Amino acid sequence: MDWPVANEIIQTNGESGFVQVVDEIALTASQVGASVNFRVRESDFLWTAAVAVSTGTFRTAIQLSSEGERYTTGLYPCRSNLFWGTAQNPSRHPPKFLPLNAEIQFFFDDTSGAPNTVALYLWGKRAETCGGEGLKGQCKNAKCPCDRGRWGQGRGLYILSTPQAGVAVPGGAGTTGIQKCPDAYHLRIIKSNAEATNAGAPTSLWKGLPGRIDPRDERRANIASAPMRAAGWTGIATAPARYASPILLHKASQLETDYTDLVGSGTTTIHVCHIAESLDDELVEKNG
């Protein structure tokens, strides 16, 4: 996979596959805001794929205590079908370095409307680092994946999600949705996952035309020549649609998408998760 942040990590053992097992949680029907605290075990860890087993759908946000931000989902939690894969079809994402004993909090909302047991598995590999000296500011290796400098700022994995309620598009009409990039670092969108519902129709057909608005010149640059049907540019966690060339969004940019309903009746509600790699200025300059 062509992930600049991953390419920067040179001290990892590719044969040391490992799974971090998060404690299961039992959600009540439509429960919101439940949480599980988890501590990284055994060794420093490079998280590269997300797997979940559940009895229903859910939303998650993830906060690493040392960073103080919900780095996997930005402002909004991500729907389970758009981020979490299965053991048979794991959802691979840009690597995220998690130091030994790092405290992670997982937040859950049930979206199934029924009792829901959720188990999360973080797939990846053991990471050989400086042995923790970076935590004390002593690491001398600029490429060591320790928790110092830019590695302590959410680098590696970021997801832009639509709001919990989704984007509501009236039948036969259009709506524009905006997703804001973080101010602290750039994003490189690897793939876009989406799902939609329309209570009045058996199918939920729609088109989308995404465009970037760069704060440096405030002009919109579309990333397609015309609106695209959903199946032409989005997937789901177990069958993702990966861009042939990732989409770079600079700090504080906006991703503005024009959505068009193709059902012609009712309201089509669209949920989108853009899976991205976060980059600092040095990596953007190095990788173009």
Are 259 and 228 part of one and the same domain?
yes
- Considering its fold, how many domains does the chain have in total? 2
Are 256 and 179 part of one and the same domain?
yes
DSSP three-state, residue 283? helix
Are 44 and 184 part of one and the same domain?
no
Are 21 and 58 part of one and the same domain?
yes
Among 97, 127, 159, where does a domain finish? Answer: 159
- Its domain, for residue 85, covers 4-159
Among 159, 184, 216, where does a domain finish? Answer: 159
Provide, for the chain, the percentages of residues in helix, strand and coil under a 3-state DSSP scheme, each rounded to the nearest 5.
Answer: 10, 50, 40
Are 37 and 155 part of one and the same domain?
yes
What CATH number is associated with residue 84? 2.60.120
What CATH number is associated with residue 195? 2.60.120.1330
Are 51 and 120 part of one and the same domain?
yes
Are 133 and 223 part of one and the same domain?
no
Are 205 and 175 part of one and the same domain?
yes
DSSP three-state, residue 158? strand
User: HEC profile for 9-63?
Assistant: CCCEEEEEEEEEECCCEEECCCCEEEEEEEECCCCCEEEEEEEEEECCCEEEEEE
- On the CB side of 88, how many CA atoms lie within 13 Å of its CA? 2
Are 222 and 249 part of one and the same domain?
yes
- Digit-by-digit pLDDT tens for the chain (288 residues) are 555 555 554 344 445 789 999 999 999 999 999 999 999 998 878 888 999 999 999 999 988 765 554 455 577 899 999 999 999 999 999 888 787 888 888 999 999 999 999 999 999 988 766 555 544 455 555 555 554 444 444 467 888 899 999 999 999 999 999 998 888 888 999 999 999 999 888 889 999 999 999 888 788 999 999 999 999 999 999 999 999 999 999 999 999 999 999 999 999 999 999 999 888 777 777 665
Among 117, 138, 159, where does a domain finish? Answer: 159
Are 148 and 19 part of one and the same domain?
yes
Are 146 and 261 part of one and the same domain?
no
Are 193 and 136 part of one and the same domain?
no
Flag whether the pTM goes above 0.75. Answer: yes
In the prediction, which pLDDT does 99 show?
Answer: 78
- On the CB side of 264, how many CA atoms lie within 13 Å of its CA? 0
